[in-house]
């Protein structure tokens, strides 16, 4: 008997007859929610304060057109390099005028700034939901030291459950990787002291865009 | 600051009648109590139909190009990983110049999702993201009990796991990984293997230890355990320290290989109070102690001592006489200081403690006299 059959047989035996009534597939069809916290305040406010709480830097932009200038100001203020790698969908913004050389290409080890969008942003925890894909490569938010995420206000949802609903509505299946990002990479493994910037980015700027505009 | 502790009762009474405060306190309480009840039910529900969920998980994962392996033991795991690594090496020799980075990333899994065939990884550092994004091959090794039916179930558990572990509302990164890299994708592994390890887990189903399979490895029991706080993790001698280790190690590796662990607890109950999936750890530890006695695994002096005590305790007259003589003897031994500094057979205990001398009369004597008076 294979390990698979042996393991399944043992479980089935322990489950006995009582468990047989459980309709596992029905549960998946209904996918009921657990208890969730209702929003205390305006969703956008809630998201911004929670994201800041987890050490993300947060800035607001009225339209998408304002994004390059906001990003440039952030990079200049911190004396960070003005070269960036970005998702293809964001390459059309006027980065050049703002002084940023942004390229949509695979990430190289030397890239220091990565610019992405987000499928959803979760107010409860100040979290970004990023999906992997050809046009949304996961490495852009992972390898560079600075991660700039452009989030349309309409994509802010209250909870992770709401984010799953949005994903189910917009995609027929899960992408290879759904990554939830809540602030810069950190570790408390070394002597229980939290330090930022372990394997992922040292800093995360979230640019909340009120209206995509033109 | 002025001390107002003398007014404790009055202030406490006022607080009890402060509706706003009570609402806030209740919200704080019920949030945890509600989430914990839901999480406990989610884990129980998953365990009640564990085989169904595993099969669904296997079907969904396979449909996305993931290879699912089943392992009975650590030996199985070693063999499977070696086979995968061999495949890797062959490919490496041909394509070596193209792969500068590691070829193979190995992770565990915090949860498996039956609905989607996904592996859920929770990290702060980003190491989990690195070794599941860059290498060509990703191997996730995990216990069969980690499967839950839906993404919503995982979400509820994710609200509790980091809070119970490190007090974070969410970890920096949560990755939900499903299948291999798409034909048109630039990132992600070409091969994704999941090893489902039993290693004694299925044997706990339907036994008193089944609640332990709810464990989500947050470590809250460990962080709150006075024994762990005094000795740290190494003495627990295997993967899991603290109260969860004191149950898991004997359960997975054999009771006879972890004789002291069920006793490495004061049974104060802190572990059960903080557990986000309501595992009754003290009950399970007591159960393991019971099993040790049943299987004659306790040391000979302890067994003989307990046998003598139980023989005596079942003979009330004899017991009373023995107790009376022992009390008298101890009193004589204690002498004028009225305390004992040494006791044969208890030198370890007595090294840091004195034993006050018995009053000379036993409880039964006093009780009889008192009732007559």
Q: Kindly list the residues from chain B whose CB atom is less than 8 angstroms away from the CB atom of residue A175.
A: 178
User: Across the interface, do B115 and A2 touch by the CB < 8 Å criterion?
Assistant: no
User: Could you tell me the CATH superfamily of domain A39-211?
Assistant: NagB/RpiA/CoA transferase-like (3.40.50.10420)
User: Across the interface, do B172 and A132 touch by the CB < 8 Å criterion?
Assistant: no
Domain ranges of chain B: 37-199, 206-298, 316-372
Confidence of residue B117 (pLDDT cuts 50, 70, 90): very high
Q: What is the pLDDT of residues B34-56, one digit of tens each?
A: 899 999 999 999 999 999 999 99
Residue B162 CA to residue B177 CA, distance in Å, equals 19
To test the contact with chain A by mutation, choose from B52, B58, B168, B198 the residue with the greatest count of A C-beta atoms within 10 A, namely B52
Residue B185 CA to residue B202 CA, distance in Å, equals 38
Q: Which residue of B has its CA nearest to A179?
A: B175
Confidence of residue B94 (pLDDT cuts 50, 70, 90): low
Please name the fold of domain B206-298: Fumarate Reductase Iron-sulfur Protein; Chain B, domain 2 (1.10.1060)
Helix, strand or coil for residue A26? helix
User: Across the interface, do A10 and B202 touch by the CB < 8 Å criterion?
Assistant: yes
- Provide the chain B residues 123-182 that lie in CB contact (below 8 A) with chain A: 124-127, 129-130, 132-134, 144, 149-153, 155-156, 158-159, 166, 169-182
What is the pLDDT of chain B when averaged over all its residues?
A: 90
Radius of gyration for the alpha carbons in chain B, expressed in angstroms and rounded: 28
For the beta sheet containing B118-123, the strands, ordered from the edge strand earlier in sequence to the opposite edge, are A156-157, A120-122, A127-131, A177-181, B173-177, B118-123, B111-113, B147-148
What is the three-state SS of B324-361?
A: HHHHHHHHHHHHHHCEECCCCCCHHHHCCCCEECCCCC
Question: Residue A211 has what pLDDT?
Answer: 82
Higher-pLDDT residue of B331, A198? B331
Instruction: Tell me what the mean pLDDT of segment B288-309 comes to.
Output: 92
Question: Residue A191 has what pLDDT?
Answer: 57
Lowest mean pLDDT among A46-50, B31-35, B88-92: B88-92
A29 lies within 8 A of chain B by CB: no
User: Across the interface, do B53 and A24 touch by the CB < 8 Å criterion?
Assistant: yes
Query: Which of A125, A164, A181 lies at the smallest CB-CB distance from B152?
Result: A164
Confidence of residue B350 (pLDDT cuts 50, 70, 90): confident
CB B293 within 8 Å of CB B267: no
Distance of CA B16 to the CA centre of its chain: 36
User: Across the interface, do B173 and A174 touch by the CB < 8 Å criterion?
Assistant: no
To test the contact with chain A by mutation, choose from B60, B151, B157 the residue with the greatest count of A C-beta atoms within 10 A, namely B151
Instruction: Return the CATH class of domain B37-199.
Output: alpha beta
B183 lies within 8 A of chain A by CB: no
B74 lies within 8 A of chain A by CB: no
Residue B5 has pLDDT above 60, yes or no: yes
- Measured in degrees and rounded to the nearest 5, phi and psi for residue B323 equal -65, -40
Best CA proximity match to B35, nearest among A89, A176, A59, A124 = A124
Q: Nearest C-alpha of chain A: how many angstroms from B175? A: 5
> Residue A193, CB half-sphere, CA atoms under 13 Å: how many?
3
Per-residue pLDDT in tens (0 to 9) along chain A, 214 residues: 899 999 999 999 988 755 555 678 888 999 999 998 777 679 999 999 999 999 999 999 999 999 999 999 999 999 999 999 999 999 999 999 999 999 999 888 899 999 999 999 999 999 999 999 989 998 999 899 999 999 999 999 999 999 999 999 999 999 999 999 999 987 766 555 666 766 778 899 999 999 876 4
ipTM of the complex: 0.94
């Amino acid at each position: 008997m294979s390990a698979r059959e042996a393991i399944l047989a043992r479980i089935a035996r322990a489950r006995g007859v009582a468990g047989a009534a459980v309709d596992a597939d029905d549960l998946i069809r209904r996918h009921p929610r657990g208890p969730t916290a209702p929003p205390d305040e305006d969703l956008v406010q809630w998201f911004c304060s929670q994201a800041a709480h987890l050490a993300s830097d947060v800035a607001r932009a009225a339209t998408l057109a304002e994004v390059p200038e906001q990003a440039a100001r952030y990079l200049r203020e911190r004396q960070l390099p003005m070269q960036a790698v970005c998702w293809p969908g964001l390459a059309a913004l006027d980065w050049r005028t703002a002084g940023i050389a942004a390229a949509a290409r695979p990430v190289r080890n030397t890239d220091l700034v990565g610019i992405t969008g987000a499928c959803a942003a979760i107010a409860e925890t100040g979290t970004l939901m990023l999906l992997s894909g050809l046009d949304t490569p996961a490495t852009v938010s992972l390898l560079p030291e600075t991660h700039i995420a452009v989030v349309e206000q309409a994509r802010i949802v209250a909870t992770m459950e709401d984010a799953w609903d949005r994903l189910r509505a917009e995609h027929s299946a899960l992408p290879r990787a759904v990554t939830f990002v809540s602030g810069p990479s950190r570790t408390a493994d070394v002597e229980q002291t939290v330090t930022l910037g372990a394997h992922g980015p040292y800093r995360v700027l979230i640019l909340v865009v009120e209206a995509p505009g033109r | 600051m002025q001390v107002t502790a003398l007014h404790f009762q009055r202030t406490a009474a006022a607080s009890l009648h402060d509706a706003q405060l009570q609402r806030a306190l209740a919200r704080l309480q019920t949030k945890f109590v509600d989430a914990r009840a839901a999480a406990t039910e989610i884990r129980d529900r998953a365990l009640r139909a564990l085989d169904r969920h595993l099969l669904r998980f296997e079907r969904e994962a396979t449909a996305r190009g993931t290879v699912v392996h089943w392992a009975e033991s650590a030996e199985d795991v070693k063999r499977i990983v070696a086979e995968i690594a061999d495949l890797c090496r062959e490919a490496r020799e041909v394509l070596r110049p193209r792969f500068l980075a590691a070829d193979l990333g190995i992770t565990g899994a915090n949860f498996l999702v039956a609905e989607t065939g996904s592996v859920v990884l929770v990290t702060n550092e980003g190491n989990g993201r690195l070794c599941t994004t860059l290498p060509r091959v990703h191997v996730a090794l995990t216990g069969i009990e980690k499967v839950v039916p839906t993404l919503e179930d995982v979400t509820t558990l994710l609200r509790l796991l980091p809070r119970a572990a490190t007090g974070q509302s969410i970890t920096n990164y949560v990755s939900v990984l499903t299948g291999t890299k798409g034909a048109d994708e630039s990132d992600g592994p070409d091969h994704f293997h999941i090893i489902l390890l039993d290693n004694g887990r299925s044997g706990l189903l339907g036994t008193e230890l089944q609640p332990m399979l709810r464990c989500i490895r947050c470590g809250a029991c460990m962080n709150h355990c006075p024994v762990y706080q005094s000795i740290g993790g190494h003495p627990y001698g295997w993967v899991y320290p603290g109260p969860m280790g004191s149950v898991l190690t004997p359960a997975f590796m054999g009771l006879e290989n972890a004789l002291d662990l069920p006793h490495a607890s004061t049974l104060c109950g802190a572990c059960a109070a903080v557990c986000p999936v309501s595992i009754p750890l003290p009950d399970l530890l007591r159960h393991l102690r019971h099993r040790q006695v049943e299987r004659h695994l306790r040391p000979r002096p302890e067994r003989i001592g307990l046998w003598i005590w139980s023989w005596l305790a079942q003979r009330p007259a004899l017991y009373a006489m023995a107790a009376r003589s022992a009390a008298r003897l101890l009193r004589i031994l204690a002498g004028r200081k009225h305390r004992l500094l040494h006791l044969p057979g208890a030198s370890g205990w007595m090294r840091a403690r004195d034993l006050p001398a018995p009053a000379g009369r036993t409880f039964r004597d006093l009780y009889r006299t008192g009732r007559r008076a």
